[in-house]
Chain A
């Protein structure tokens, strides 16, 4: 059973805000919601991580409702260079659990 579910692909025009939603109905108390970005032929790069409410950094914002069963990655004013695959992961803080990178969401930014 997949731990997270996210759209396979999204398109957006340059300059728009993009919101990618991830469902994680079976999230555990010790799970942290984490997003990575991957460009073609490169390794994934950590974007943002949160436990609850809202987290913001220089790249993105992460919105997490009180029940934590979903989360939304928000990319403000995307540019062509934001075209990439975005992975939503649940990382367990209570000890080691194998990290599963699904197929992610392929974001295509259109000029």
Chain B
């Protein structure tokens, strides 16, 4: 059963701690993305990756870091430099980076930092 998995579904951290959100896909997609969603808002792009070992900053990359060591994995680290990290984080993938290709989304991780 192909798809995108994100874990955990809920994550709680203390302020000042780094935290890594997992994203795995078995769709054999080249492109992967991370979005952030705040209550009542749309999705904002954090990072995206076209191929292994390559990734680009999105609109709100400050305070976040990513890696793409394997095609199927694109973990996101929320660092202590991110001023307002509490949000709903969504990972997505698509066949190619070209915009018209459908993006498949994972179930999301809700991060709460106190």
Interface residues of B (CB under 8 A from A): 4, 33, 35, 40-43, 45, 48, 50, 58-59, 88, 90-92, 97-108, 110
Contact = CB atoms under 8 A, between A and B. Distances in A.
Contacts of B59: 98
Of A34, A43, A44, A104, the most chain B CB neighbours within 10 A belong to A43
B105 A45 contact: yes
13 contacts: A42-B107, A42-B108, A43-B91, A43-B105, A43-B108, A91-B100, A92-B98, A95-B99, A96-B98, A96-B99, A99-B103, A101-B42, A103-B40
A104 B42 CA distance: 7
A49 B100 contact: yes
Contacts of A91: 99-101
Nearest to A97: B99
Of A93, A94, A99, the most chain B CB neighbours within 10 A belong to A99
Contacts of B99: 32, 91-93, 95-97, 99
Contact of B108 (A41, A46, A101, A103): A41
Given A44-B105, A49-B100, A49-B102, A99 B45 contact: yes
Contacts, number: 63
A63 interface: no
Nearest to B41: A103
A56 interface: no
Q: How large is the interface on A (under 10, 10 to 19, 20 to 34, 35 or more residues)?
A: 20 to 34
Interface of A: 32, 34, 41-46, 49, 87, 91-104
Nearest to B33: A99
A100 B58 CA distance: 11
B22 to A, nearest CB: 14
